[in-house]
Amino acid sequence: MEHEESLRHPASISAPSRRDALLRQLREVAGGPLGRHAAPGLIRPAVFTIERVLILLTTAAALLAFLVKVPCREEGWVRPAQFYRTCYSDWTEAFQFQGLGSGLLPFAEGSTFDGPLLTGVVAGLVSLLVPASSDGIVRTETVVQFFDLHAVLIAAAWIGVVLGTARLASRRPWDAAIVATAPILILTATSGWALLSVGLSVASVLAFARHRYVMAGVLLGFGAGFSIHVVLVLAAMALLAARTGRWRAVLLAGGSMGAIWFLMVLPFGPGQALALPWQYDPARLNISSSLWAGYDLLAERLGVPALASETATLLAVGAFSVLGGLIVLLVLKAPRRPRLPQVVFLLMGALVLVLPNYRPELTLWLLPFLALSYVDWRIFVVWQLVEVLHWWAFWMYVAREASSGAVENNIDSPYFVAAVFARLLVTGYLMYCVAHHILEPKYDPVRRLQIDDPAGGPFNTAPDRTGPLR
């Protein structure tokens, strides 16, 4: 209740141009430094409030994301051009080749759609708004309509993620600009349905922060229908409950999440409810940019045995178990209870590092929780440069492997492997930075503002049950 009361009264907010070294250098472009007598947050602007500015930024970024796909909208989503133009989208592949364009709803008899449950529900509902082919030939104009409708849906979800992040950030709402303007999000937002699960994970944390625990669980349940990785949000809540002894909120959230999951399983069966988003590949590319795929490419060059798919899966499970165990120890033994977004980021980061079926758009899982955990615009820019490089290398490699593209347009596998390992290193470094802030709370930008865990709900200002475990 203390946190809720604080939201009803004006409070000063952190001005990034005053605190961030990179933004201090760039602020002249935006009109110079903020005046020393300005009190952002204490005086409400007439028109350009923070949330309205964030909406404008997100809208502009969504338009750029739409423009990325313009070459395919004009020339069609055909091989190998869609790979070289980096405008591939799961939406159009599913519409053209998995029955949606012919009027077949996902999971109906004759449909070949094999994605996660709620992904199929959304795709099916959108397909009802597009004229179906009566002769089995999917026409270009209907593919474009299907894509455009999804682009509008994703733009709305993007705005929701940004606003949710801003409201969870308490006195640092400008940190949500990371989510609004991230280059990798501009490049991958319209590549698939990943942003829908991201939106539900952020919405669930926002509901939890506002002490609406059942609603948080319901949102997590729906999020799991898109991507099972959102269960890590509940795992983070459970770790903090173990630290504080406040289990009631987690049990309510977990119970309602389980109820929603059960209701989804009843009509569709566990096969669809347990579908994994990172295994959904409507174009049948069968290409990953994971640690294990990078090893296989190196092994091929060096003439050593590659990993069997079962071995890669076992190694991934083992690696995630080890990283998860280290995160558990960090949460339980840290001198001060970590903040909820920090724990969520570490768990999701561990999954992103070891996932066998990784694709560039899955990094979107991390963005809002990074914005709530660790903000240094210089490091953020480096991370985004590496992610953009990895995104480009991935699609150039796909163009080489999955189509008969011209040799002079392709990249060799060592460059792709270098991009893969660069992404892994930068993601690992971000996890290290967050872990360092957990071990040294005085460096945490949120706690430097004399607040505890604005996204933590019942954990905000909660004392440890017995102090840090030794």
Q: What is the pLDDT at residue 437?
A: 93
Q: How many CA atoms lie within 13 A of 438 on its CB side?
A: 27
Q: What is the dihedral of CA 445, 447, 449, 453, to 10 degrees?
A: 110
Q: What is the pLDDT at residue 174?
A: 87
Dist CA 450 CA 431 (whole Å): 23
Cβ pair 336, 441 in contact under 8 A = yes
Q: What is the pLDDT at residue 127?
A: 93
Nearest to 360 by CA among 322, 398, 410: 398
Q: What is the pLDDT at residue 1?
A: 39
Dist CA 68 CA 89 (whole Å): 11
Q: What is the pLDDT at residue 469?
A: 45
Whether residue 80 is preceded by a cis peptide bond, meaning omega within 30 degrees of 0, is yes
Phi, psi of 280 (to 5 degrees): -80, 120
Q: Tell me the longest C-alpha to C-alpha distance in the chain.
A: 69
Q: What is the pLDDT at residue 4?
A: 40
Q: What is the pLDDT at residue 8?
A: 40
Cβ pair 215, 249 in contact under 8 A = no
SS3 213: helix
Q: What is the pLDDT at residue 275?
A: 74
Neighbours of 412 (CB within 10 A): 11
Cβ pair 369, 341 in contact under 8 A = yes
Q: What is the pLDDT at residue 470?
A: 40
Block mean pLDDT (10 aa), the chain, length 470: 41 56 53 53 64 94 94 87 90 92 87 90 94 79 94 96 93 90 95 95 96 96 93 96 94 95 80 78 89 91 86 94 96 94 97 94 95 88 95 92 72 91 96 95 82 90 64
Q: What is the pLDDT at residue 27?
A: 54
Neighbours of 135 (CB within 10 A): 7
Burial of 335 (0-12, 13-18, 19+ CB in 10 A): exposed
Cβ pair 391, 83 in contact under 8 A = no
With tokens 């709620």, the residue in question is: 118
Q: What is the pLDDT at residue 5?
A: 39
Q: pTM of the prediction?
A: 0.89
DSSP-assigned states of every residue in 220-274? HHHHHHH-GGGHHHHHHHHHHHHHH---HHHHHHHHHHHHHHHHHHHHH-HHHHT
